Structure 1
Amino acid sequence: MRPSWLKTSLTLITCATLWLPGPASAAQPPRPATVATQVKPPKLVVVMVIDGLPSEQVQRYRDQFGPGGLRRLLEQGASFTDAHQAHGITVTAVGHSAVLTGAYPYRHGIIGNNWIAPDGRQVYCTEDTRYHYIDEDTDAHDGTSPANLRVDTLGDQLRYASGNRSKVVTVSGKDRGAILLAGKTGTAYMYMDKTGDFATSTYYMDQYPAWAERFRAAKPQDRYYAKSWTPLLDDKAYADDAPYPAATTSSPNRFPFTFYSESGKPASDYYVRLKKSPAVDALTLEFAEAAVDGERLGSNPTGATDLLGVSLSGHDYVNHAYGPESRMSHDHLQQVDRQIARFFTFLDKRVGMDNVLVVLTADHGFANTAEFARTQHADALRVNPKALLDTLDAQLAERFGVARLVKTSLLPEIHLDYAAIERRGLARADVENAAARFLLAQPGIAEVFTRTQLEQGVASKSRLGTLMQRAWNRALSGDLLVVTTPYTIFSSGTSGASHGTPWQYDTSVPLLIMGKRWIRPGEQAGYAEVVDIAPTLAQILHVRRPAGAEGRALTEALR
């Protein structure tokens, strides 16, 4: 007896044979051609990243959002409620790299904001001394190019498919936020701490276009001088927020926050203060609007699709300073919501929102401050990195009789001195395991993964291990990856919050996609990852996926 699948196959073959055309004399009247309706790609794709925005904040504060910003995305777009930055070292550079490469850190090569190179030199993710900022001071480790990004992006594929007619422009309060969204062939602009201007580097061009020169000359950043950040909503709206953290001379931790300089006029310290407030995000969106007009984004005369990347950095700075449970974080998100609404109104006038596809996500989530977490009965600690590493080094010296086997470290990564280990005739795995055992016995340490485990792939037997495996690059990463217990952070300070772990609060981020012609509105409860964004956009835009992309197209949200 033939299996059922074979019967089906034979039937299909037979049917196909019956429809083969015969000789011309016996041909049947031609059947009308069936043409599949293909929706034209959007004129403009806007990819927005809110730096340091946990998914839970979007859900917790959603009833307070205005009608045109985040609420519009939630109601008119597809909202993925279980979306993640699915790698273990959840920091800004790594998260931004995932958005448009569709790749994990082991592949795209951006393993942190900073890392230790094989020669022992500390590397900043977007540094490149071959280039400098245009008309701005440039330090050796300033971000000036995407050279360290080892794969291409969706924007690069878009430009390739259009014969470079598509424009890709990105802007951010952080250089890494702009550069890693722009990819290899886009153009990135970033906020300058010393001047408050938005600048680019000689990697992208030799001089600014006229529209950017006009924006810089107008000095919009100076209008905030001597003004204050005050809460947007009534006091009762913030009633459930955590109490204010203790005030200090340098950080009053109280509204209103006044923007000033010690010199009495706009200067570097004033421009840095703007970053820890809604002001930096308002300026970023204003520059984005200037780019839309100046570059005619969404009105490309060739008909090609353009891409605008906008990374809003203020929320990360606010959360670091005060914690995501604070009134400041709560209000900041409300302020950003209204700013996004105004930006959408602008896009509607310039391009028409029916012609625009919007993606909004975050580069990472955030842990609550350790002090607040303890009020919720979490065993949250602040682990002093130097003390931990010094003690580890001493323990290894006592165990193996070799001093300074800890070569260097940028936690959560630790580099061992393999040359010294081999000279002494020791086995690498023995030293790694001894280090791991010691670290696991310390308060606040949950897991330690060794190079031997990671090289053999045995770390990925759990979800946490899988996330750390994805975060580890064989050529660039350390020999030990250390994971703290939940809500514990590496910190020598006594205040502030952080991120960077594989725990849910750091990986869980919003993922909202809105576009009337391409996206089916509604809440999506299924699992999704930020690396799914690039494949999804590639499908909508009919372009090739980025080379390193490992995500999937979110077809459940497509029309």
Structure 2
Amino acid sequence: MRTSIALATCATFLALNANASPTAAPAQPKLVVVMAVDGLPQEQLLRYRGQFGDGGFKRLLTQGAMFADAHQAHGTTVTAIGHAAILTGAYPYQHGIVGNNWIDRASGKSVYCTEDQRHQYVGEATAPSDGTSPAKLRVDTLGDQLRYATGNQAKVVAVSGKDRGAILLAGKGGTAYMYMEGSGNFASSTYYMPQHPAWVQRYQAGKPQDRYYGKTWRPMLADAAYQLDAGDTPFAISYYSESGSPDASYYKRLKEGPFVDELTLEFARAAIEGENLGANPAGVPDLLGVSLSAHDYVNHAHGPESRMSHDHLQRLDRMLAGFFTYLDKRVGSDNYLVVLTADHGFANSAEFSQRQHIDAGRVDGKALMDGLQRHLDATFGAGKVALTALLPNIYMDEEALAKAGVQRAAVEQAATRWLRAQTGIADVYTRSRFEEAGATGTRIDLLLRRAWHRYESGDLVVVPRAYWSFGAGSSGATHGTPYAYDTSVPLLMMGKRWIAPGTYAGYTEVVDIAPTLATILGVRKPAGAEGRVLTEALARR
């Protein structure tokens, strides 16, 4: 009964649109494409926009809507949390994805955000911690609502270089395909299907990932184009293996440069054709999620201020141009809507910031935790307080505290005082502080409360100072804080029948995407969605 009502409602909506007058709401898009560029700060998009070609980012900026002050508005800005926000419209305190990894309180062990040992990759080796299902995602997504509203006739497919990028965009009812670093294939898992459809098998048989063997990634622009980047040394990164032929080491290396993004977009085209996305025989919209992973790897290794990061973004721009041209021909330029955003921003490398006379550095997480444990042993007695950490989260052993007769509040206070005195630490948020009712205080208070889940998050959340990060070493960059360089991301929408082009300066959040698309599609927004509809950018109805 529920399915028949949903089908009737959708059919009525489509029929009304088909017979609508010119002033009525435009028909639904045949295909919604939601794209995430992993680790792309808004600052980079604006800094390099003068060098983009006509068909990629520049097309989105000129023919679509750009939200100039858009944010991943939660306090722990990492890949899994950011991807979960895009199509749930929810914050971590609801959707339950509190990091890429966190500590399971029952076992005391680290768990991965999309691991599910009940399922395996289809035709690929699977480790226990590999991402195979959305079981840990506690809410539904826009794709789930679209499938519900159409009696499961709408197709929802997501593809990514990272399993968490695909799985968290696909939601509960879609289908995820992810890059396999052991084979270079894109594969799904038994959560979604027992075996791959014929189009995937044909794609895999062609071994497109092997075409890059022996190729070298070099800057695509003239040297003068990179003169403002940190360092002026040209780079050349070759893709090969010690064995002399494509193998697991080569396929893993492909993830760390532009070629994995080329493969991701190529597989997305294969999915459009194999699943007939955008030409659904039931006459309902389809949804495609595409997460492009390489920019994050490049920024981690070299920093967003680097020549390699700059060049990768230019290459990605050209890839997007080709993909949009393909959509124009395959689906029709009037029939699809694109949203492009990012899961998080990025800090500059500490060494670069220091050269700009900014107080920046790295906090060695192991040394920090060793020092905290010694302090608590001296305060309460050795072994009475047991801690486990995946920074910024620190977990207490409640059973050990009860057995030792130590009050959690006393440990919170002692740990907070000691941590705040350490170099590079700005503040500590405790379970007691999070559970207090009342006003949130500062914006950082708000972002951290949104990121804290009472069952999954730690009893202490440690916040580094601005431009400081957790980690050892002396190179590379990272993200994960509530500061603007980590929260500020692009938010671009293009679809001339639904989106009014222009630059919108008002504050927006990534969680606004799901309610806005739900309004355009005429479906119920996801249950946990707290974002608003971006009415200012909707085409006049």
Q: Shared topology, TM-score over 0.5?
A: yes
Shift of 1:43: 0.3
1:211-250 to 2 correspondences below 5 Å:
211-243=199-231
Are residue 340 (structure 1) and residue 328 (structure 2) matched?
A: no
Q: Secondary structure at the match of 2:284?
A: coil
1:218-246, CA deviations, whole angstroms, 9 ceiling, x for partnerless residues?
A: 010100000111111110000000016xx
Q: Is the 8 A contact 1:364 1:507 kept in 2?
A: yes
Are residue 60 (structure 1) and residue 60 (structure 2) matched?
A: no
Q: Is the 8 A contact 1:457 1:469 kept in 2?
A: no
**Alignment match of 1:453 (pick from 433, 443, 448):** 433
1:10-46, CA deviations, whole angstroms, 9 ceiling, x for partnerless residues?
A: xxxxxxxxxxxxxxxxxxxxxxx99961211100000
Q: Is the 8 A contact 1:152 1:548 kept in 2?
A: yes
Are residue 128 (structure 1) and residue 116 (structure 2) matched?
A: yes
Match of 1:45 in 2: 32
Q: Unaligned 5+ residue runs, structure 1?
A: 1-32, 245-252
Equivalent-residue separation in structure 1 for 2:402 and 2:436 (angstroms): 20
Instruction: Compare 52-61 and 491-500 and name the one that shifted more.
Output: 491-500
Are residue 95 (structure 1) and residue 75 (structure 2) matched?
A: no
Shift of 1:301: 1.2
Are residue 548 (structure 1) and residue 528 (structure 2) matched?
A: yes
Equivalent-residue separation in structure 2 for 1:353 and 1:291 (angstroms): 18
Number of matched pairs: 519
Match of 1:316 in 2: 296
Q: Secondary structure at the match of 1:435?
A: helix
One-letter amino acid matched to 1:201: S
Q: Note closer, same or farther for the CA distance 1:441–1:282 as it changes in structure 2 (3 Å cut).
A: same
Shift of 1:487: 1.3
Match of 2:287 in 1: 307
Are residue 528 (structure 1) and residue 508 (structure 2) matched?
A: yes
Match of 2:270 in 1: 290
Q: Which runs of 4+ in 1 moved over 6 A?
A: 33-36
Q: Secondary structure at the match of 2:114?
A: coil
Equivalent-residue separation in structure 2 for 1:441 and 1:528 (angstroms): 35
Equivalent-residue separation in structure 1 for 2:110 and 2:236 (angstroms): 38
Shift of 1:491: 0.7
Q: Is the 8 A contact 2:70 2:509 kept in 1?
A: yes
Equivalent-residue separation in structure 2 for 1:510 and 1:219 (angstroms): 33
Q: Secondary structure at the match of 2:496?
A: coil
Equivalent-residue separation in structure 2 for 1:352 and 1:276 (angstroms): 33
Q: Is the 8 A contact 1:449 1:459 kept in 2?
A: no
Equivalent-residue separation in structure 2 for 1:134 and 1:493 (angstroms): 37
One-letter amino acid matched to 2:41: P
Q: Is the 8 A contact 1:459 1:466 kept in 2?
A: no
Match of 1:108 in 2: 95
**Alignment match of 1:260 (pick from 240, 250, 265):** 240
Shift of 1:402: 3.9
Q: Is the 8 A contact 1:459 1:469 kept in 2?
A: no
Q: Secondary structure at the match of 1:129?
A: coil
Q: Secondary structure at the match of 1:513?
A: strand
Match of 2:261 in 1: 281
Are residue 413 (structure 1) and residue 413 (structure 2) matched?
A: no
Match of 2:360 in 1: 380
Match of 2:170 in 1: 182
Are residue 498 (structure 1) and residue 478 (structure 2) matched?
A: yes
Equivalent-residue separation in structure 2 for 1:50 and 1:71 (angstroms): 15
**Alignment match of 2:460 (pick from 468, 480, 487):** 480
Equivalent-residue separation in structure 1 for 2:377 and 2:501 (angstroms): 60
Match of 1:142 in 2: 130
Shift of 1:404: 5.8
Equivalent-residue separation in structure 1 for 2:398 and 2:277 (angstroms): 52
Q: Secondary structure at the match of 1:353?
A: coil
**Alignment match of 1:84 (pick from 67, 71, 85):** 71
Q: Secondary structure at the match of 1:524?
A: strand
1:497-556, CA deviations, whole angstroms, 9 ceiling, x for partnerless residues?
A: 100000000000000000100000000000000000000000000000000000000000
1:434-483, CA deviations, whole angstroms, 9 ceiling, x for partnerless residues?
A: 10110000000011100000011468211001111111000111000011
Equivalent-residue separation in structure 2 for 1:150 and 1:534 (angstroms): 16
Q: Note closer, same or farther for the CA distance 1:457–1:276 as it changes in structure 2 (3 Å cut).
A: farther
Q: Is the 8 A contact 1:54 1:362 kept in 2?
A: yes
Q: Is the 8 A contact 1:484 1:501 kept in 2?
A: yes
What's the TM-score once normalised by structure 1's chain length? 0.91
Q: Is the 8 A contact 1:393 1:404 kept in 2?
A: no
Flag the structure with larger Rg: 1
Equivalent-residue separation in structure 2 for 1:167 and 1:254 (angstroms): 44
Provide the identity percentage. Answer: 65
Q: Secondary structure at the match of 2:324?
A: helix
Equivalent-residue separation in structure 1 for 2:392 and 2:185 (angstroms): 33
1:176-200, CA deviations, whole angstroms, 9 ceiling, x for partnerless residues?
A: 0000000000000000011110000
Q: Is the 8 A contact 2:384 2:406 kept in 1?
A: no
One-letter amino acid matched to 2:388: T
Are residue 75 (structure 1) and residue 62 (structure 2) matched?
A: yes
Equivalent-residue separation in structure 2 for 1:299 and 1:424 (angstroms): 64
Q: Secondary structure at the match of 1:477?
A: coil
Q: Is the 8 A contact 1:102 1:533 kept in 2?
A: yes
One-letter amino acid matched to 1:544: R
Shift of 1:430: 1.5
Q: Note closer, same or farther for the CA distance 1:404–1:52 as it changes in structure 2 (3 Å cut).
A: farther
Q: Is the 8 A contact 2:346 2:478 kept in 1?
A: yes
Equivalent-residue separation in structure 1 for 2:522 and 2:437 (angstroms): 35
Q: Secondary structure at the match of 2:440?
A: helix
One-letter amino acid matched to 2:348: N
Shift of 1:390: 0.5
1:159-174 to 2 correspondences below 5 Å:
159-174=147-162
Shift of 1:133: 0.4
Q: Note closer, same or farther for the CA distance 1:60–1:457 as it changes in structure 2 (3 Å cut).
A: farther
Equivalent-residue separation in structure 1 for 2:180 and 2:441 (angstroms): 43
Shift of 1:489: 1.1
Q: Is the 8 A contact 2:38 2:342 kept in 1?
A: yes
Q: Is the 8 A contact 1:55 1:508 kept in 2?
A: yes
Q: Secondary structure at the match of 1:134?
A: coil
Q: Secondary structure at the match of 1:460?
A: coil
Match of 1:203 in 2: 191
Match of 2:11 in 1: none
Q: Secondary structure at the match of 1:354?
A: coil
Q: Is the 8 A contact 2:219 2:234 kept in 1?
A: no
Q: Secondary structure at the match of 2:359?
A: coil
One-letter amino acid matched to 1:169: V
Equivalent-residue separation in structure 2 for 1:35 and 1:523 (angstroms): 26
One-letter amino acid matched to 2:360: A
Instruction: Compare 397-406 and 363-372 and name the one that shifted more.
Output: 397-406
**Alignment match of 1:392 (pick from 347, 352, 372):** 372
What's the TM-score once normalised by structure 2's chain length? 0.94
One-letter amino acid matched to 2:64: G
Equivalent-residue separation in structure 1 for 2:472 and 2:38 (angstroms): 23
Match of 1:25 in 2: none
